[in-house]
Chains A and B, each alone.
Chain A
Amino acid sequence: MNASTMLAERTATVRLTDLKKRYRVGDDWAEALKGVSLTAAAGEMVALTGPSGSGKSTLLNLAGLIDTPDAGTREIAGKPVDGLDDAGLTVLRRERVGFIFQGFNLVPVMNVADNVEYPLLLLGRPAAERRQKVAEILERTGLAAFANRLPDALSGGQRQRVAIARALVKSPSLVIADEPTANLDSHTAQQIVDLLRELSHERGAAVVVATHDERMSAHCDRVLRLADGELISGERQ
């Protein structure tokens, strides 16, 4: 165990233990995850790599609390997750988890500022606080000039920056990013990864990012490799 891993163990904000998940395929079962454990510390960015179908998305969905495992336990910010009902999980996601999607998934009728404000609205934050936090993160992500634009009027890189702002505006414990750069050119992808890492470091959020992109994983604190539903680790500094 190297220093980084030990740090992660000590201050783990996300702790996934022995997660199993299988899907029904016709008459058979497909084992998507065969007992995977993962921890990530606040401010740490963990890359999840592996061939297509190795279980990256499945693991991210479990980590992000939008899917339930068949076995194993989960803990976020010290709170055990399993046993919560749908409403409880939703509240936990609302307070603790940010999402960044491959397809950006912004709300098309909301302008940039409204998209970023949405998570704070869900949390019932007062208007003044919302305004201030949105302005702050738009400034930080270089979107201040685009606050009133609709997502349609933005480039892919700009849209993903909005998504990053939306995920991090509430300073979550965990950010889930499933192939966030797959729809972007390599130069833009690089900028997005850098922004995501800097911002999550600043705000103390653990990031788990699934990617095929070697250059992207090179910028992460740790790289985990999945194959056929199992972690074959391959930690790297």
Chain B
Amino acid sequence: MKWILFAWKNVMRNKRRSLTAMLITAMGTAAVLIGGGFALFTYESLEEMTARDSGHVVLAAARGFDNDEDVPLQHGLAGAAALAAHYAAQPGVRAVAPRIQFSGLISNGDKSTVFVGSGVDPAVDFRLRGPQLEFVAGEAPGASDAVPEVAIGNELAGLMKVKVGASLTLLATTTEGNLNAVDVIVRGIVKTGVPDIDRRLVMTDIRAVQRLLLSDKVGSLALYLKDTAQTEAMAAQVKAARPELAVRTWRDLAVFYQAVRALYNRIFGILGLIMVVIVAFAMSNTLGMAVVERTREIGTLRAIGTQPGEVVRNFVLEGAAIGAAGAALGMLLAGGATVALLFAGIDMPPPPGRSVGYPLLLSFSAPLYLGAMLVVVALAATAAWFVSRRAAHKPITEALSHV
């Protein structure tokens, strides 16, 4: 305790200099924490976004993910209803969503264009996607045995010049290779924020799609879990129980997520490295000056029986104190920024390929904060050790005659 007090008194000896080192350390720590918080928030948002979109674990028939079908549902999953019922009954599973991806032409009678369709179970799918699927007009289509209802992308609606309630025709190739058509009613107009998708998207009841394609198979079954962390465990369980199926997790399917994560990890890793260098320099500089100034004092303390290691230890404590104070201040700054952004409501510009931005928020991560504190303190202590160990071993008579 006495030693820590002594170290702190020495820190306060040259207040301006110590304060400068503390501020540099605080800035560095805050920069890393804010950068890290931003990266974590982005990962979390993308994780949620991707998992909502694709489901946590996606099952398909063998080759179901290969995208090399000659006709629709060539590698479709048969007996999907029983499979869906089985997994829906599992404790960790929130919902099971059967899906068919298909494409064809959509027509308003005057003109037609290409669409990319998604056959879903209206009862579950629209609920699961949550806020990601924004209805700009109308509402989610229901399951209707008469005339199927659809939700279409807002840009496609513009292209087709239709409003909610209008009727359109879908044309697609059946599983037998023939052309088939179905009349549909526009029940909702949606916006995903990705223009390429909004120009082509058609969502409708999966049973209408099966009738259109003349098949009772589905393209895939998406399992939505209660806890994202259980993804790998569930995937492994399915693989073991159903070796004939192809199984993917949202992580496998999330190309964008993976790319962003790799990029951010690199960017913020480099940022962290730069901060480490800056803090190390600031610390060595501050403590190095202190050591030189106190050479005679070191000689005095050595003469009256202080071991070199004890001299070094005092400087290490001093460095650690500056580092800890700086890191604590940096944590406050980063924490303050995290809270402030919650209220500020700042939006980031849309990422490439998207038309809507996303809120600028930071995630708070206790391990990140704790790790930053440990790294900074260790760094400061190491710098102190490095700059003081020579002076501590200097011949005492030499140190005492230092002016």
| A residues with CB within 8 A of B | 61, 64, 66-67, 86-87, 90-91, 93-95, 97-99, 101, 105, 107-110, 114, 118-119, 121-123, 166-167
Contacts and interface: CB of A to CB of B under 8 A. Distances in A.
B72 interface: no
B10 A86 contact: no
A119 B305 contact: yes
A91 B13 CA distance: 29
Contacts of A101: 300, 400
A122 B304 contact: yes
A94 B305 contact: yes
B207 interface: no
A66 B302 contact: yes
Contact of B303 (A66, A91, A123): A66
B307 A99 contact: no
Contacts of B358: none
A105 B306 CA distance: 14
A221 B375 CA distance: 59
B296 A105 contact: yes
Contacts of A114: 6
29 contacts: A61-B397, A66-B302, A66-B303, A66-B396, A67-B395, A67-B397, A90-B305, A93-B304, A94-B305, A95-B305, A98-B304, A99-B300, A99-B303, A99-B304, A101-B400, A105-B297, A105-B400, A107-B301, A108-B297, A109-B9, A109-B10, A109-B12, A118-B301, A118-B304, A119-B305, A122-B304, A122-B306, A122-B310, A123-B305
A94 B6 contact: no
A87 B302 contact: no
Contact of B6 (A67, A99, A105, A109): A109
Contacts of B6: 109-110, 114
A121 B305 CA distance: 11
Interface string B254-297: 00000000000000000000000000000000000000000011
Interface residues on B, range: 20 to 34
B2 interface: yes
Contacts of B305: 90-91, 93-95, 97, 119, 122-123
Interface in B181-222: none
A90 B297 contact: no
B308 A86 contact: yes
A91 to B, nearest CB: 7
A108 B12 CA distance: 12
Contacts of B10: 109
A79 B86 CA distance: 87
Interface in B1-25: 2, 6, 9-10, 12-13
Nearest to A62: B397
User: What 3 pairs across the A-B complex have the smallest Cβ distances?
Assistant: A94-B305, A109-B9, A66-B396
A86 B303 CA distance: 11
Contacts of A107: 297, 300-301
A91 B304 CA distance: 9
B283 to A, nearest CB: 20
Contact of A93 (B303, B308, B395, B397): B303
Nearest to B8: A109
Contacts of B397: 61, 66-67
A97 B300 CA distance: 13
B397 to A, nearest CB: 5
Nearest to B393: A86
Given A105-B297, A107-B297, A121-B2, A64 B306 contact: no
A121 B3 CA distance: 9
Contacts of B307: 87, 90
A108 B300 CA distance: 12
Nearest to B13: A109
Contacts of A98: 304
A66 B301 CA distance: 11
A116 to B, nearest CB: 11
Given A109-B10, A110-B9, A90 B302 contact: yes
A110 B9 CA distance: 8
Nearest to A176: B303
Contact of A105 (B2, B12, B300): B300
B146 to A, nearest CB: 89
A97 B304 CA distance: 7
Interface centre among A87, A93, A98 (most CB of B within 10 A): A93
A121 B13 CA distance: 21
Given A86-B308, A107-B297, A118-B304, 4 more contacts: A90-B307, A109-B12, A109-B13, A166-B304
A62 to B, nearest CB: 10
A86 B394 CA distance: 11
A90 B311 CA distance: 12
Nearest to A118: B304
Nearest to A123: B305
Contacts of B396: 66-67
Contacts of A91: 305
A139 to B, nearest CB: 22
Contacts of A87: 307
A133 to B, nearest CB: 15
A14 to B, nearest CB: 16
B188 to A, nearest CB: 73
A95 B306 CA distance: 11
Nearest to A167: B304
A98 B303 CA distance: 8
Nearest to A94: B305
A167 B301 CA distance: 12
Contacts of A99: 300, 303-304
A88 to B, nearest CB: 11
A119 B304 contact: yes
